[in-house]
Copies of this chain bind each other. A is one copy, B any other.
Amino acid sequence: MAEISAEDRADLSAAQGMSATTKRATVPALEKILYEPLPVLDHGFIRVIDYMGDDAAIVQAARVSYGKGTRQASQDEGLIRYLMRHRHTSPFEMCEIKLHVKLPMFIARQWIRHRTANVNEYSARYSILDKEFYVPAEDQLAVQSSTNNQGRGEAISREDAVTILELMRRDAAQAFNSYEYLINADGEGAPLDADRPALARELARIGLPLSTYTQWYWKTDLHNLFHFMALRADSHAQYEIRVYADIIRDIAEKWVPLASKAFEDYRLHGTELSKQALEVVRRRLRGESVEREGSGLSIREWRELEALLNG
């Protein structure tokens, strides 16, 4: 379940009670979940903090570019699909969203690689980290894949899983105990034991595991949000970031339903064919029987093309 502090909980109620009048583009479906923590993993969440624009804002920006010509001709949905299809990405950049995300640090390290975004992260140099670390659900434990060098293979037996999870919990608990000993401070920063020094927080935290939760405000435009989703909702992405990407897909669907649908159709569930793969498809459609030899495809590409075309 998503866990936010009592303090944040109070802020949340206050924020949700606020209401103002605006002439800006407003999306009722997104307003409904504004500030609400959407749970991810064992302690994480995503909250929508603010947004700018909607489907109509994409159209509006495109029409500045394409001028009067498009005004009558195109309906909004058609125009948005056209833009997505032809990778005319700049109108999608005219929408912006700000999220509050709580996530394990090893996921934060993948996430931050998306450079075209604004970030304010909780600083463990200033502040004390909560004792919260990610432990995988039992059914998420799997062996190293033998075919995919970076992924997971088959599941681990219940028995082995129990041992593994115990080990994980024990080590994390010990690291947090040491952390509390080293910073020698309660939640307000007062010493627990006045006879011991309080190690600087920037040093005390270096023994904490990568599974420790952090949080940040993260703000990006819709084009880069789609790019994030394309990479992180992909089956090659690590499960623990994929679940965040899935929540973001739900958010985008509420926020910009037309653009989201276009993204799903043209990007997420679409595919790319190389020059050689396209040639194989063309020849087959002409009724030719095509062999891999001489197709220009590697064995792996051939296999992947087969899988793709057989759906």
Contact = CB atoms under 8 A, between A and B. Distances in A.
28 contacts: A15-B23, A16-B23, A21-B21, A21-B26, A22-B22, A25-B50, A60-B217, A64-B121, A67-B127, A68-B127, A69-B189, A93-B219, A94-B219, A125-B151, A143-B200, A144-B200, A151-B202, A152-B202, A175-B175, A265-B274, A265-B296, A266-B275, A269-B274, A270-B274, A270-B278, A273-B273, A279-B311, A282-B310
Contact of A90 (B16, B118, B127, B188): B118
A171 interface: yes
Contacts of A160: 196-197
Nearest to A93: B118
Interface in A242-291: 264-266, 269-279, 281-282, 284-285
A114 to B, nearest CB: 10
A207 B210 contact: yes
A159 to B, nearest CB: 10
Interface residues of A, number: 140
A151 B200 contact: yes
B309 A281 contact: yes
Interface in A102-136: 104-106, 108-109, 112-113, 115-116, 118-123, 125-128, 134, 136
B51 A23 contact: no
Contacts of A200: 142-145, 151-153
Contact of A26 (B20, B93, B221): B20
A62 interface: yes
B51 A206 contact: no
3 tightest Cβ-Cβ pairs between the two chains A and B:
A67-B127, A269-B275, A20-B26
A85 B277 CA distance: 12
